[in-house]
Structure 1
Amino acid sequence: MPRDDTLVGIDSRTVETDRLETHYLESGGSGRAAAEGETVLFCHGNVSSSRFFEDVLVDLPARHRAIAPDLRGYGDSETKPVDATNGLGDFAADLRAFVDALALAEPLVIVGWSNGGGVAMRYAIDHPEAVASLVLVNPLSPYGFGGTKDTDGTPCFDDYAGSGGGIGNDAFVAGLENRDRSEEGQTSPRKVLRTYYVDPTHEFDGEREESYLTGMLDTATGDKNYPGSSKPSDNWPGIAPGETGVNNAISPKYCELEAITEIDPDDKPPVLWIRGDSDQIVSNASLFDLGTLGRMDELPEWPGEDVFPPQPMVDQTRAVLERYADRGGEFEEVVFGNVGHTPHVEVPGDFLDRLESVL
């Protein structure tokens, strides 16, 4: 259902596609259908929604049509199971159906944040001719999340143990299920928002914090959505990816986004990679990665640096994008200082300046 609490200048709508009912935010209303600029599509990350892009949509120049959908199982869109065995394919196919349903003018500029960066890469792999440029904001590594040890994405174990649905924090998931808005505990959604989504020195505007928190709480939970199912493993830490749910879709067992380098040189969209230098979620020492927690003695029986080191997520992304450039593409890396996982929330003016340079 459309929202009634959007910022001035934002329209909240739903559209029935041939895959699911999708809620989306659009700045400037239907008048932007005839905009002279480009159409910009914003893809949010895990445990979030289009709410995290609302301020950017308001501030983007009116000559562009700006649209931010809620992905399946998030925000106000329909909830459907996620088939993890196709990686992020369900989300990319949903996005394609959304673009078709709205008859959006192509090629599009796609802005993908965190997991949404992975969705944007998968969309470009599947439909390169439909993408004018990619803006990847603190994106998921092309080799997925967890369980790999080097810049080539080599798995720590053959069954990809240590990644997938089983590595989700049970208390955090319970907080989402219970729509917990309290400030209690290190794993409450509000605490995670304040501590990990942004640089801890960042302070939210009160009303915006409530909206972002709602965006987190509007996450479908369980084995078929977030975090997903798991299987027992003989390898540390005793769990391997299942076949359904978001965290399995981004497991290196199924997430293979390095195929972006194989796009024909004539179709490779330019890539702008934006990241915060104090990101604690997607980094070379992510506090959500079991290798990092093992190194910190937060998890028992860690097999050590040689077997299960922290995943070098940023280095993996850079290596893939350098190969992308070597094969006929182009990319630019922009790093914001004292910024965490959400540059578009923490430094919206700087973020918008960089986005407009692409447009």
Structure 2
Amino acid sequence: MELMPGVRASHVDTDRIRMHVLEAGPDDGVPVVLVHGNLSTGRFYEHLMTRFGDRYRVIAPDMRSFGQSDPAPLDATRGLSDWADDIDALLRALGVSAPPHLVGWSTAGAAIVRYAAAHRAASLTFLDPVSPYGYGAVHRDGRPAFDDFAGSGAGGANPEFVRRLAEGDDSDESPFSPRTVMRTTYWSADFRLPRDREDVLVAEILRTVIGDDGYPGDGAESSNWPGFGPGTRGILNALSPKYCRWDDVVDLDPKPPVLWTHGTNDLVVADGSMLEFGTLGQAGLVPGWPGDDLFPPQPMITQIRDVLERYAAAGGLVRTEMFDGSGHGPHVDADVRWLAVYLDFLAGAS
């Protein structure tokens, strides 16, 4: 499927893995790295890349086991540090020496903090990021519901969705097909991509590496409700609060300016997301829920706000923009406004 005019693609051999990368803008431009989230690729940013002007070198890689990059295993016990290290390796291979402006969508919100903790970043933009305490099974302050972090990790994946993903299902015949899941959870309910563009992005989702080292990851049983906990491999385990935290962003020194953008109708990262087991249990959809005191719905938006308020109190610059009516991807379903906000932020941060 052809790229949009002005966007170029290459495979880059790094000292870690071989990565597929989209780029736009001059090679000597200010580096902006757009990092996709779970079940997506760099092409989810493609429509924006030529609209940055001639000041910025815009780089959108496919992360390991997604898109056309190497199907390298993900060590979940490192959280998203494998992704952070891959970004560093890519920038070195591309000859980028200036601190990059980093955008992290969803899962990648944790990855860009891990990068900034090890290397200097010019700015951090959180685009509907995973909570700073990981995904699922924690109280507001990040304490786990159970010591083994039961209720988080690969065991929470819907088996019908995983089956259809593995089989390359590009139909919309089921609520669990990748196309339907993208329509209903990535964007706002009243937004629909043009069919040809939707086809491109569904094809990108179907490039996901399925299995213990990719999506969803290896399973682990638990004696605690709901009967599973995080394994040690693959993307959903890497998002478990057992391994994934970025509340240490508060300790960064120096502190890059931060932009947080979020869709108000996000169903994935929300206070009371129906993809999280505290919410599912409270709603009676998973029997045996131990109750609010032990396993409350995760207040993800509140957690993000809490941590970024601490970042600001510690001297960091934080700008927040909520996108009314947008879903999990306001850079797509509100792309004109999102890009305007981001370019205005970049102008002040560069």
Cα distance between partner residues in 2 of 1:5 and 1:76: 14
CA contact (8 A) 2:110 2:245 kept: no
Name the residue aligned to 2:37: 45
Cα distance between partner residues in 2 of 1:256 and 1:183: 35
Name the residue aligned to 1:106: 98
Cα distance between partner residues in 2 of 1:352 and 1:193: 21
Name the residue aligned to 2:296: 309
Equivalent of 1:59 in 51, 71, 77? 51
1:196 and 2:185 are equivalent in the alignment: yes
Deviation at 1:114, TM superposition (A): 0.4
Equivalent of 1:244 in 233, 237, 258? 233
Equivalent of 1:33 in 3, 9, 27? 27
Deviation at 1:56, TM superposition (A): 0.8
Deviation at 1:64, TM superposition (A): 0.9
Cα distance between partner residues in 1 of 2:176 and 2:323: 26
Deviations 1:39-93 (A, max 9, x none): 1100000000011000010222122110100000001100111111111111111
Cα distance between partner residues in 1 of 2:246 and 2:118: 11
Cα distance between partner residues in 1 of 2:28 and 2:151: 48
Equivalent of 1:260 in 230, 243, 249? 249
Cα distance between partner residues in 2 of 1:5 and 1:285: 39
Cα distance between partner residues in 2 of 1:39 and 1:224: 30
1:134 and 2:121 are equivalent in the alignment: no
- Pairing of 1:1-359 with structure 2 (within 5 A): 5-28=2-25, 32-35=26-29, 38-127=30-119, 130-150=120-140, 152-264=141-253, 267-359=254-346
Runs of 4+ in 1 over 3 A off after TM superposition: none
What TM-score do the two structures reach when normalised by structure 2?
Answer: 0.97
Cα distance between partner residues in 1 of 2:284 and 2:173: 24
Cα distance between partner residues in 2 of 1:196 and 1:157: 28
What is the root-mean-square deviation of aligned Cα atoms in Å?
Answer: 1.0
Deviation at 1:256, TM superposition (A): 2.2
Deviation at 1:233, TM superposition (A): 0.7
Deviation at 1:255, TM superposition (A): 1.1
Q: Give the match's secondary structure for 2:89.
A: helix
Cα distance between partner residues in 1 of 2:73 and 2:193: 33
Deviation at 1:10, TM superposition (A): 0.6
Cα distance between partner residues in 2 of 1:34 and 1:235: 53
What TM-score do the two structures reach when normalised by structure 1?
Answer: 0.94
Deviation at 1:193, TM superposition (A): 0.6
Unaligned runs of 5+ in 2: none
Q: Give the match's secondary structure for 2:321.
A: strand
Cα distance between partner residues in 2 of 1:208 and 1:295: 37
Cα distance between partner residues in 2 of 1:325 and 1:63: 28
Deviations 1:131-158 (A, max 9, x none): 11111100011111011021x1111110
Deviation at 1:122, TM superposition (A): 1.2
Deviation at 1:21, TM superposition (A): 0.3
Unaligned runs of 5+ in 1: none
Q: Give the match's secondary structure for 2:220.
A: strand
Q: Give the match's secondary structure for 1:172.
A: helix
Q: Give the match's secondary structure for 1:8.
A: coil
Q: Give the match's secondary structure for 2:122.
A: strand
The residue type equivalent to 2:67 in the other structure is G
